[in-house]
């Protein structure tokens, strides 16, 4: 009896240590821990750097999608990235009558795959320096790598830099970016 209790405690401790190690590997985003066992929305709502993105996802009606099974890769612009858009753009996009345009922009930040940075870097290398990334919104992003950092060029020529890579989620991965990616309109 005592042996089995000790064995159970040892196994529980090993599982706990393994789980803690998995969480420790994920970077903090917006001052909040990101948990690999939570989905994209469950983690994003805790980032103080992504309140605009979360509001936009809610306004576009994409919460259920991004809580879904996935896998998804989300290039997540920060509040600063949204603030860099021309004055009034965010407020205009959040209006109900602009839901289709907002949805198009947001889905140009989502890929229907679980693409960690090493995978993206390999695709870039295999494609001799630039890899076309097709998003669920139908946009084509140009991924490049320079000095260990991934950049994405949108359809308007804007360039976003991945500032925090490989934030694991239960339904994919988030890469934090410093610019809002825009489709050709």
| 81 confidence band (pLDDT: 50, 70, 90) | very high
Hunting for tokens 């995978």 — which residue is that? 119
- Taking the C-alpha atoms of residue 120 and residue 131, their distance in angstroms, rounded to an integer, is 8
Domains of the chain, first to last: 2-177 (2.30.180.10)
pLDDT tens-digit map of 125-158: 999 999 999 999 999 999 999 888 999 999 999 9
- Taking the C-alpha atoms of residue 174 and residue 11, their distance in angstroms, rounded to an integer, is 31
Is 0.75 topped by the overall pTM? yes
């Amino acid at each position: 009896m005592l042996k089995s209790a000790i064995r159970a405690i040892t196994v529980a401790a090993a599982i706990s240590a393994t789980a803690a190690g998995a969480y420790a590997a994920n970077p903090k985003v917006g001052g909040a821990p990101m948990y690999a066992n939570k989905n994209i929305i469950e983690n994003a709502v805790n980032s103080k750097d992504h309140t605009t993105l979360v509001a936009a996802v809610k306004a576009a009606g994409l919460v259920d999608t991004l809580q879904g099974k996935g896998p998804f890769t989300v290039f997540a612009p920060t509040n600063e990235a949204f603030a860099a858009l021309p004055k009034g753009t965010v407020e205009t996009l959040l209006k109900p009558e602009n839901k289709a345009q907002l949805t198009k922009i947001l889905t140009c930040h989502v890929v229907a795959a679980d693409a960690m940075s090493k995978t993206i870097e390999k695709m870039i290398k295999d494609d001799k320096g630039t890899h076309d990334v097709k998003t669920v919104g139908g946009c084509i992003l140009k991924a490049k790598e320079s000095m260990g950092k991934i950049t994405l060029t949108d359809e308007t020529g804007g360039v976003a830099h991945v500032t925090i890579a490989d934030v694991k989620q239960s339904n994919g991965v988030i890469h934090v970016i410093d610019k809002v990616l825009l489709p050709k309109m």
